[in-house]
Amino acid sequence: MWKILAFAAGVGTGTAVLADEQAGFTSVATETCLIAMVESQNPTSCIGASANLCMETTEGGWSTYGMSQCLDQELQYWDGRLNAAYKTVRTKRKASDTEMAELGSAAPSQGDALKNMQRAWIAYRDATCDYERSQWGGGTGGGPATVSCLMYMTAEQALYLEADGLVD
Amino acid sequence: MFGASWAQAEATSISEETIDICLSGLDRESDKRVCVGLAAQNCAQAGALGACLDAEIDYWDARLSAGFGMALDRAQGKDSDAESLALEPRDQAGALRAAQESWKAYRSATCAFEQTLWETGAATSPESQGCHLYLTAEQTFYLEAVALIE
C-alpha cells in the first residue's frame, strides 16, 4: 500500500522508454510494466506508470491541474478493469452458489460474501483517501493527492479481483 | 511424551528476527510482502502450522497497533500545529481513526469472502489465517510509512 508515498516520490519507474512515444494519456506504460513482471516482483509497482508518463509528455503536465488530469485518466483505466474483474468474479461465484444449492449444501453464499467485501472495500477506499486528503489541509496538493490515492487503491483492488484463485 | 510437549510449546513462538532480517535486506523498490509468512513457515517445521500462523498474526497485530499509534501521534501533532497557527482545521486524527475502522471492516469482509472459497469454510483454516496475516502486515507497512512522512 504505497498510495501516499508513491505520490510524494513522483513514481518515476518504468516510464522512460516510452517517453517520446506519445503526448497525453495512454495506458501502454502500465500494461508494458505489468507484462514484464516476474513472480518475485509486485505488480502494484506498475500502478501510476501511465499517469506519470502523461505528466512528462503533456504540456503543463506537472501543474496541479495537469497532474490531476493524468492521474484521473489512469484512475478511469483501473476503474474499468476493476468493474470488469468484479463482474467476472461475481458470475463465477454465483454459479458456484447455484451448484452448491443444487447439491443441498448449506454453505454460505460466495456471491453475498463478495458483495459485502466490495462494499466494505468502497468504504475503506473512501475513508483512506479522505485521510490522505487531510494531510494537505486546504492546500492545492489535496486534489492530485486524493486522485492518486483513489488510483492506487482502485488498481490494487482490480489486481486482487483479477487473481486466478477467485475465479477457479 | 515430554519431548513432544516441549516441542509443541517451542513451536508456537515465531522468530521475530527472521522478519527483521528479511525486511532490512530489502531495497526501497522491493515488495515487503515477501517477508510476511516466513517466520510462520520456519516455525511450522517443528510445530503445528495453525499455531505458528496464529503466532505470526499476533506479531503483526501488535506491530499494527504500534504503527497506528505512531501515525496517530503524528496526525495529532499536525492538528495542533494547524490550531496554533490558526490554519484551516484538518482533523487528521479523526480521519485516520475513521480510515482504520473502515480498514478493519474491509479486512474482516475480505477474509470472510475468501473463507467461502475454501472447502472447510473454517476461520481457522490456514488460508483464512493467511488472509488475516497478509492484510494486517500490509496495513502495518502503510501506517509505519505514513508515520514517517514529514
Domain boundaries defined on chain B: 2-147
pLDDT at B3: 46
Measured in angstroms, the CA of A123 and the nearest CA of chain B are apart by 6
pLDDT at residue A71 tops 50: yes
The residues spanned by each domain of chain A are: 3-166
| pLDDT over 90 at B119, yes or no | no
Residue at grid coordinates 506504460:
A29
Determine the Cα–Cα distance for residues B137 and A98; give it in Å rounded to an integer: 35
pLDDT, position B121: 66
Mean pLDDT on B10-38: 87
Give B54-102 pLDDT, tens digit per residue. 999 999 999 999 999 999 999 999 899 888 888 877 799 999 999 999 9
Mean pLDDT value of segment B38-58: 93
State how far the Cα of B48 lies from the Cα of A48, in Å rounded to an integer: 41
- Measured over the CA atoms of residue B78, residue A72, residue A121 and residue A46, the dihedral's sign is negative
pLDDT at A78 over 50: yes
What is the pLDDT at residue A23?
54
Residue in chain B lying closest to A12 (CA): B29
pLDDT of residue B2: 47
Residue indicated by cell numbers 515487503? B32
More confident position, A158 or B82: A158
What's the pLDDT score for residue A140? 74
Q: Out of A93-107, A135-149, B45-59, B93-107, which region has the weakest mean confidence (pLDDT)? A: A135-149
Banded pLDDT at B107 (limits 50, 70, 90)? very high
Q: Residue A13: closest CA among chain B residues belongs to which residue?
A: B29
Distance (Å, rounded) from C-alpha A156 to C-alpha A74?
A: 13
Q: Which of A1, A116, A165 sits opposite B112 (nearest CB)?
A: A116
Report yes or no for ipTM above 0.95.
Answer: no
pLDDT at A99: 93
pLDDT at A47 over 90: yes
Instruction: Find chain A residues with C-beta within 8 A of B91's C-beta.
Output: 134
Please enumerate residues of B whose Cβ is less than 8 A from a Cβ of A: 29-31, 33-34, 75, 78, 82, 87-88, 90-92, 95-96, 98-99, 101-103, 105-106, 108-110, 112-113, 115-117, 121, 138-139, 141-142, 145-146, 149
Cell numbers 468484479 correspond to A86
pLDDT band at B22 (very low <50, low <70, confident <90, very high): very high
pLDDT score recorded for residue A86: 97
Which chain A residue is nearest to residue B111, measuring alpha carbons? A117
Cβ pair A51, A150 in contact under 8 A: no
**Sequence letter at residue A36:** A
Average pLDDT of chain A to the nearest whole number = 85
Of residues A168 and A127, more confidence is placed in A127
User: What pLDDT does B12 receive?
Assistant: 82
Say whether A107 sits in a helix, a strand or coil.
coil
Q: Using 50, 70 and 90 to split pLDDT, how confident is the model at A139?
A: confident
Segment A93-118 shows an average pLDDT of 93
Any idea which of A5-9, A22-26, B57-61, B80-84 has the lowest mean pLDDT? Answer: A5-9
Q: Does the structure show a pLDDT above 70 at A8?
A: no
Instruction: Report the alpha-carbon distance of residue A71 to residue A96 in Å, rounded.
Output: 37
CA atoms of A162 and B95, how far apart (whole Å): 30
Nearest-CA distance A31 → chain B (Å)? 19
